[in-house]
Structure 1
């Protein structure tokens, strides 16, 4: 009688040996990553500007043609397998712990390797301010100057669009059109920033948009498929900067604050006035938040200069998230905060304020930046 592949003793021996090797490789990988993380030049030259652009383009060209999120589909299948595996373990009352613990370690080893090889090494590249050759420090006076400039620009383009300073701006495009126009923004800016050349579009609606909303996320990059996922249940006003942000991740800028700065850069310089409005108000919100933290009185004085219509756009975003609050959201945010800290963003979610330093110094060092 022939053995089935699963029960074949030779197959089982090979399987067990493979799992043991993979399990042993997990701590070795962790140590190697820690050592490599301290060598930013090596990561920048060998990975971020070396093999990653090829990996990313291959993934984008191959999966970008699919009209749905392949990565989200994989996550769904993986979730089903995990639930089935847990049910099996519970059914057997967690018997043979050495066997199932080995399975877990082997699986984590594979996931850990794939995460870093396909994208994760980008967390350890040079900080963006070094790549742009600008400072990452600034004075309150410089922050006030930039905030005033952004208020002026936001008010001007707001009035150009709606001709009434009390009316909020509504984005007149469908969500698919917003995706197309987002890519146009990268085409427009690549002459000045060749590192932002975007070839092989893979920008998609997330199949998990509804749960992402209740988790408090606008979108994410799938590190295993290089697909930029956008939560399309959010307000259209937020999609241009969110989509631009996720493409920034695709291009190898892993840190959230750096992707936010790139989103500002792309949308502020976009040929479309609605995208420029989204970009200026996006950058302005970061500057105002930082100014309120440093000097609330000055922040309140500058807020009074903003058109009421812009404040209405800000308020509708606030109302949207209040309507979708979830008691578990702080847990998701805490988990993601810890994820950022583990992946070379020592301030966690607070590191988002670094975008202000990039904006201030880019504006200061670039003639006619905005």
Structure 2
């Protein structure tokens, strides 16, 4: 009986892959029946039940799975990989269970409608609109920086501890949920990753554990980056699986936050995206606009860069290649480059906001 069950589970793996391929062609169906019907219930149950633990259960689960994998490899080596039919079926059966849980608990969100359609925002823009927004973001960033700093050359230090940063992240979602009901958040499950140090050397700010629905933040990073990182991970938790969309949501939440430190983090985060895109289109103009920024803002940018340079290691490119491939497999055809979609959402969001006045 056990062998038959294992065989059935193994055979279900390719069938699941075929099902995903079929469903990916029907984003409206995924949006309606999974992302807005089934997933909110699954996510809420997991956040409420697992969020009460003060530490990351998902990180412990990952550690346990890694130990099992190492044990499995050691056993295979000792057996000199004899009887491959048996252990291959067992391996595919295990992968089938994990793949099913990944998709059911969160992964189907990769195939929902694009964010600009669900929020009714355009996704096309001109260079002139990009320039206008970049200038506006510089003005807003300079203004907030002047309110928080003693002079324009001082970098901003976030005066909150990790718990306060997490609580204020939740407040940010409460602030925008009136205008965007899709971002209503309840049942907190936002945690510091137990693997923050390894994540730093791998080049990651945080992640959502799809098996436990816990939003994990690398709290080793520069505190200035935690508001946007935590907001990004909660965006994932609400079902916005694509990285570019979660980044836009992080901008949206932090730029509209009642706390000025969060607004500073958000506006300078959005500004960096726009400057990067403008640099690609018009290097001279981007450098001209950068010269109008408060030096303290650039000091915050350098602080972040210095952190990642200090944590560089020979294996980081490998991690980035693996993650880039993961994005491509999960319906983000441009991989890491798809992050530029954030700029399109920002340009059109601000244009819509200005048109309301």
Q: Is the pair's TM-score, using the shorter chain for normalization, greater than 0.5? A: yes
What whole-Å deviation, never above 9, does each CA across 1:5-29 have from its counterpart, x for those lacking one?
xxxxxxxxx2111111011111111
In the alignment, which residue of structure 2 is the partner of 1:288? Answer: 275
* Cα pair distance change 1:241/1:368, threshold 3 Å: farther
Task: Tell me which of 170, 173, 180 is aligned to 2:157.
Answer: 170
When Rg is computed on C-alpha atoms for both structures, the one with the higher figure is 1
In the alignment, which residue of structure 2 is the partner of 1:67? Answer: 54
Range 345-354 or range 79-88, more displaced: 79-88
Following TM superposition, by how much is the alpha carbon of 1:187 offset from its aligned partner in structure 2, in angstroms?
1.1
In the alignment, which residue of structure 2 is the partner of 1:248? Answer: 235
* Distance of 1:132 and 1:57 partners within structure 2: 22
CA contact (8 A) 1:167 1:308 kept: yes
Task: Tell me which of 153, 167, 172 is aligned to 1:185.
Answer: 172
Following TM superposition, by how much is the alpha carbon of 1:77 offset from its aligned partner in structure 2, in angstroms?
0.9
- The secondary structure found in structure 2 opposite 1:221 is strand
In the alignment, which residue of structure 1 is the partner of 2:265? Answer: 278
Following TM superposition, by how much is the alpha carbon of 1:369 offset from its aligned partner in structure 2, in angstroms?
8.3
In the alignment, which residue of structure 1 is the partner of 2:321? Answer: 334
What whole-Å deviation, never above 9, does each CA across 1:120-166 have from its counterpart, x for those lacking one?
00000000111122221111000000000000000000000013101
In the alignment, which residue of structure 1 is the partner of 2:106? Answer: 119
| Residue 352 (str. 1) matches residue 355 (str. 2) | no
* Distance of 2:121 and 2:57 partners within structure 1: 38
- The secondary structure found in structure 2 opposite 1:233 is coil
What whole-Å deviation, never above 9, does each CA across 1:255-305 have from its counterpart, x for those lacking one?
000000000000000000000000000000000000001110110010000
* Distance of 1:175 and 1:87 partners within structure 2: 39
RMSD: 1.0
In the alignment, which residue of structure 1 is the partner of 2:72? Answer: 85
CA contact (8 A) 1:362 1:369 kept: no
In the alignment, which residue of structure 2 is the partner of 1:319? Answer: 306
In the alignment, which residue of structure 1 is the partner of 2:354? Answer: 367
* Distance of 1:53 and 1:32 partners within structure 2: 21
Gaps of 5+ in 1: 1-13
Task: Tell me which of 250, 255, 267 is aligned to 1:263.
Answer: 250
* Distance of 2:286 and 2:194 partners within structure 1: 39
Following TM superposition, by how much is the alpha carbon of 1:368 offset from its aligned partner in structure 2, in angstroms?
7.4
- The secondary structure found in structure 2 opposite 1:366 is helix
CA contact (8 A) 1:363 1:369 kept: no
Task: Tell me which of 13, 21, 26 is aligned to 1:39.
Answer: 26
TM-score by length of 2: 0.99
- The secondary structure found in structure 1 opposite 2:191 is strand
* Distance of 1:368 and 1:200 partners within structure 2: 35
TM-score by length of 1: 0.95
Following TM superposition, by how much is the alpha carbon of 1:365 offset from its aligned partner in structure 2, in angstroms?
1.4
CA contact (8 A) 1:232 1:239 kept: yes
What whole-Å deviation, never above 9, does each CA across 1:182-232 have from its counterpart, x for those lacking one?
111111111111110110000000011111000000000000100000000
* Distance of 2:10 and 2:250 partners within structure 1: 39
Gaps of 5+ in 2: none
What whole-Å deviation, never above 9, does each CA across 1:303-354 have from its counterpart, x for those lacking one?
0000000000000100000000011101100000000001000000000010
In the alignment, which residue of structure 2 is the partner of 1:11? Answer: none
* Distance of 2:356 and 2:186 partners within structure 1: 25
In the alignment, which residue of structure 2 is the partner of 1:227? Answer: 214
| Pairs within 5 Å for 1:92-241 | 92-241=79-228
- The secondary structure found in structure 2 opposite 1:138 is coil
Equivalences, count: 357
In the alignment, which residue of structure 1 is the partner of 2:63? Answer: 76
* Cα pair distance change 1:274/1:369, threshold 3 Å: farther
* Distance of 1:171 and 1:71 partners within structure 2: 28
